Chain A
Amino acid sequence: MDVLVGAGVAFLSICLLFIVRLWAVVKSGPNYKPGRKGPVAVLVVAGSGGHTTEILRLMECLSAAYTPVHYVVADTDRMSEEKICAFEKSKQSNAESQFTICRIPRSREVHQSWSSSVLSTLKALRYSLPLVFRLRPDMVLCNGPGTCVPLCVAALLLGILGMKKVLIVYVESICRVQTLSLTGKILYLVSDYFFVQWSSLRDKYPKSIFLGRIV
C-alpha cells in the first residue's frame, strides 16, 4: 500500500517537474540567440508537395550563417528529396555547401483516421528522438505537415532534459486564412516563433508574428 502511494507521489512529482521544465524552456526562447556564437544548425522539416515548396521558398533567403542544414522528409515521399537536391544545387555559393537529407516514417497519411494517427506518430517519434539527439540543431524550421510534430517533441525534450535549447520556428501555410492547421494548434503554445501569413489569424492568435505574405 505504502509502495503504491510512494510510486504515485513519485510519478506526480516527475510530471510536475516535467511541466515546470517545459514552461521554463518555452519561456527562454526570446532570450536565446544562437547566432551570436557562430553558425546556426537548422533542421528543416519537408512535408509533401506544397509544404516542401513553401519551405524551400523560405530557405532561399536565409544567409550562409545557417549551416549545416538537415532536411527531414517522410519515407514515402520521393518528390521532396528531388526538389531539395535541385534547390541546394541551385544555390550559388562559392564555399562548399553541406546539407543532409534524413528520412523518418510519416506521422499521418492524408485522410488517415485519428486513432491510427496516434500510433503512427508514436512510431515516428521512435525514430525522431535518436535523430534529433544526434543532430543537436540550434533551430527547427517547419510549416505544418504532421511529420514535424514528433521532431518538435524531440527538440523540446532536448531542452527539458537540459541538454540543449532548440528554437522552434513554425511558419503556417499560406493556405490557412481563417483557421490554423492541426499541427499549428498543437505547436502554437510551445513554439518560439510562430508566423502566420494572413491578418485574420494574427487577430485570433495574439502570440503569432505577422509579416504579410512571406512565401
Chain B
Amino acid sequence: SQPRPTPIVLFSCKLFIESAASPQRCSATSPCTGSSSGPAGGAVTRFRVPATRFRVPTVTSFAEASVWSVPGSGEEAEDEASVRDRRRRTTPGESGGPPWADMKTVFVTVGTTSFDELIESVTSCEAAQELKARGYQRLVLQVGRGSLLPAADACPQLRLEAFRFKDSIAEDMRQADLVISHAGAGSCLEALGAGKPLLVVVNDRLMDNHQLDLARQLHQDHHLLYCTCSTLTDTLRSMDLSALQPLPPGQPKNFASFLDKALGVK
C-alpha cells in the first residue's frame, strides 16, 4: 500500500522564539471579542503576537540566486567541477556531513504531480551513462504521486536515492549540482533561486497548460535548458550548462513603494 503523501512546503521557515510566550487566540464567538461572527463557516481567529524579541529566521526564498560566471564577460568560462568547488566554498561548510555530500549530485523533482516517464527515462541505462560520463555520481529522485519508486539498485552506475515527498526540498536543492525538473513554476523558481543549473523536461502527454509558458520564457531568456523525455539522453550528452544565466530575484520593494505613493501613505 502506498504511503499517504504529505504536501511539500516548498519554502521553509526556521523560527527561533526566545520568549516562551505563546500568542493569545480568541475566536469571534468567545467573550473576549464580544461579537458573534456571521454564518458558521466564517470563523475568525484573532492572533495577538506579544512584543518580544525574535531572532531573525532563515527564510529560504526562491529569490536568493547565486551568480556563476557567464562566458564572454571577460572571465574564462568555468567547467562544472570548478563551479561546484566554488559553490561549495561559498556555501556553509559541509564538514561532518554524510559521506555522499561530496558526490556530484543530480536532483530530479516532479513536484506534486506524477511523471513516471521522466523517472523511467532518467534511470535508463543510456541516461545514467551520460550522467556518469559528465562526472555525476549520485542521483536523487523525488517522484511525487508517480507509481514508479525505483529501488537503490535500479541504477548500477550511480548511487540512487528516491522518495515521494518531503516537507522541504531546499536541502536537496542545495546539495545538487544539476536539477532536472518538470515544468512546474514552483519547482523551476526554487531551483533557479537556489542558483542551480536547471534542465526542464516537458511532459508532452499532458494537455498544454499555462505552466509551460513560464518554462518556455525562462528558456528564451537563457535561464534554463529545455527538453522532452525522448530527447533527454541526447540533451544530457550535448548540453552546455555554462551558457545559462542566473535569474535575478524579484523586487517586491518596487511593489511596496508604488503602493505607498498611490495610496498616499506617509
The interface of chain A, by Cβ under 8 A from chain B, is 30, 33-36, 40, 49-50, 53, 57-58, 60-63, 65-66, 75, 79, 82-83, 85-90, 92-105, 126-127, 130-131, 134, 139, 167, 169, 171, 173-179, 181, 193, 195, 197-198, 209, 211-215
Q: Chain B nearest CB: distance from A56 CB in Å?
A: 9
Give the docked Cα–Cα distance between A171 and B46 (Å): 26
Give the docked Cα–Cα distance between A193 and B250 (Å): 19
Which residues on B sit within 8 Å (CB–CB) of A79?
A: 7, 9
Which residues on B sit within 8 Å (CB–CB) of A99?
A: 47, 49
Among B89-110, those with CB < 8 Å from A are none
Contact call B258/A101, Cβ cutoff below 8 A = no
Give the docked Cα–Cα distance between A212 and B247 (Å): 13
Contact call B45/A101, Cβ cutoff below 8 A = yes
Which residues on B sit within 8 Å (CB–CB) of A209?
A: 258
From B41, B56, B258, A127 is in contact (CB under 8 Å) with B41
Give the docked Cα–Cα distance between A88 and B25 (Å): 14
Which residues on A sit within 8 Å (CB–CB) of B49?
A: 88-89, 96-99
Contact call A102/B255, Cβ cutoff below 8 A = no
Give the docked Cα–Cα distance between A82 and B7 (Å): 13
Contact call B252/A101, Cβ cutoff below 8 A = no
CB within 8 Å: A-B pair count:
163
Give the docked Cα–Cα distance between A82 and B186 (Å): 18
Which residues on B sit within 8 Å (CB–CB) of A177?
A: 210, 213-214, 216-217
The verdict on B185 contacting chain A, using a C-beta distance below 8 Å, is yes
Those 8 A-B pairs whose CB atoms lie nearest each other, nearest first = A33-B264, A130-B38, A35-B265, A61-B256, A213-B250, A35-B263, A177-B213, A35-B264
